[in-house]
Structure 1
Amino acid sequence: METVREAFRDECVRLEAVLGELTAADLDRPTPCPPWKVRDLVAHVRTGAGRLAGMLAEPAPPAAEVDAVTYFGAAKFTPEVDRDRVESARRDGAALPGVPATVADFARAWRATDEAVAAVPPGRVVRTRHGEPMTVTEFLRTRVVELAVHGLDLADALDRVPWLTPAAARVTAAVLTGGRLVPDALAWDDVTLLRKVTGRAPLTGDEAARCDAAGLGGLSFSG
């Protein structure tokens, strides 16, 4: 749990600093996640980072049934669910206040999650918005993945060098690969791994073959 909390905090602190450097015009830039603008993607990330605090206020299910890897399976992300996710972020993005207030809102959200997590045992079970029982540790791993992957999307939208933190890179890579070893022949750094496995960068024929042989890929992303 402490390793995952470190990754969550590191990535949130870094994103909070980046948000503090934005201008009002930056919020309306397009992103690699159409039809979202930066403001919409920020709203989506803020919701995801703060989600666990509310989940911990609910009664605990009796036992966990999924982990971070199976949470990202594509089956649950139907067109209806995806459409609701997209439109919800656009509504929240349109309602974002100025940059300083947006930064403060994100800071409150992620810190509320961090404080809520610190107050419960790692094995505490929560229910996701999809109805799946997961341990707090496993669900927090999904938050790190969302922050890391959408951090790349925001960096691209803002023409910045990706700010992926080392702790978040380790946690995210473990989820993206399902704990499998990435073939040495691929020679991917952390950012390239995230881009390639999530479809944000194309695979060459050789890379695709090596990924298939290693059992990598096939995850879907939604907060």
Structure 2
Amino acid sequence: MDGVRTAFRDECARLEEVLRGLAGTDLDRLTPCPPWRVRDLVAHVRTGAGRLVDMLATPAPDRAEVDAAGYFGAAKFTPEVDSARIDSARREARELAGVPEVAADFARAWRATDAAVAAQPAGRLVRTRHGDAMTLTEFLRTRVVEVGVHGLDLAEALDRRPWLTPTAAAVVAHLLTGGRPVPAGLDWDPLTTIRKATGRSDLTDRERTLVDESGLRWLSFGG
């Protein structure tokens, strides 16, 4: 939990810093996650970062049934779920006028989650809105993925270098590869691994061959 919580705090604090420095026009930039603009994607990330507050206010399930890898299954990416996710983020984004409000809203959400997590006993279990029963640590790991990977999308939309923090990069890369090292012959750092594994950077023919020959089957969102 300590390492995952550190990664969550580091990545959220970095995103908060970025948001506070935006210009008003930045919020309307298109992102690589159509039809979302920056304000919509930030609203989506804010919701994800803050979701644990309500989850921790409800009774814990009896036992864990999935881990972080199992959480990212096909049921989370059906057309119906995707449509609801898109519409919800756009509605929430319209409620916030400008950069100060957007940044403050995100700050409140992630800090409330961090405080709620800090108050929990070791081994706390939670149930997600999709019905998954899992440990708090494993669900928080999915929040690091949400903030970190969508941070790459926001950086692209804002024409900035990725700001992914080392602690978050380590958590996300470990999850995407199932803890296995990248194939020999691929000189990938964690950021490159994440970009390649999530389709945010294309594999070359050589890279694809090395991945296939190694038998590495990394986590695929929706797969």
Identify the TM-score tier after normalising by the shorter chain. over 0.9
Instruction: Give the residue type in structure 1 aligned to 2:73.
Output: G
Tell me, which stretches of 5 or more residues in structure 2 are unaligned? none
Match of 2:24 in 1: 24
Match of 1:143 in 2: 143
Contact 1:45/1:150, CA 8 A, preserved across alignment:
yes
Contact 2:64/2:125, CA 8 A, preserved across alignment:
yes
Moved more, 35-44 or 177-186: 177-186
Match of 1:180 in 2: 180
Q: Counterparts of 2:183 and 2:201 in 1: how far apart (Å)?
A: 18
Q: Counterparts of 1:148 and 1:168 in 2: how far apart (Å)?
A: 7
Deviation at 1:147, TM superposition (A): 0.9
Instruction: Give the residue type in structure 1 aligned to 2:171.
Output: V
1:45 correspondence with 2:58:
no
Aligned residues: 221
Contact 1:180/1:214, CA 8 A, preserved across alignment:
no
Deviation at 1:41, TM superposition (A): 0.3
TM-score, length-normalised on structure 2? 0.95
Tell me, which stretches of 5 or more residues in structure 1 are unaligned? none
The Cα RMSD (Å) is 1.3
Q: Secondary structure at the match of 2:185?
A: helix
Q: Counterparts of 2:208 and 2:93 in 1: how far apart (Å)?
A: 36
TM-score, length-normalised on structure 1? 0.95
Match of 2:209 in 1: 209
Runs of 4+ displaced beyond 3 Å: none
Within a 5 Å distance, the mapping from 1:1-223 to structure 2 comes to 1-212=1-212, 213-220=214-221
Deviation at 1:177, TM superposition (A): 0.7
- Percent identity, aligned pairs only? 67
Q: Counterparts of 2:122 and 2:217 in 1: how far apart (Å)?
A: 27
Deviation at 1:218, TM superposition (A): 4.2
Contact 2:49/2:110, CA 8 A, preserved across alignment:
yes
Q: Counterparts of 1:187 and 1:30 in 2: how far apart (Å)?
A: 32
Q: Secondary structure at the match of 1:65?
A: coil
Deviation at 1:184, TM superposition (A): 3.1
Q: Counterparts of 2:95 and 2:211 in 1: how far apart (Å)?
A: 41
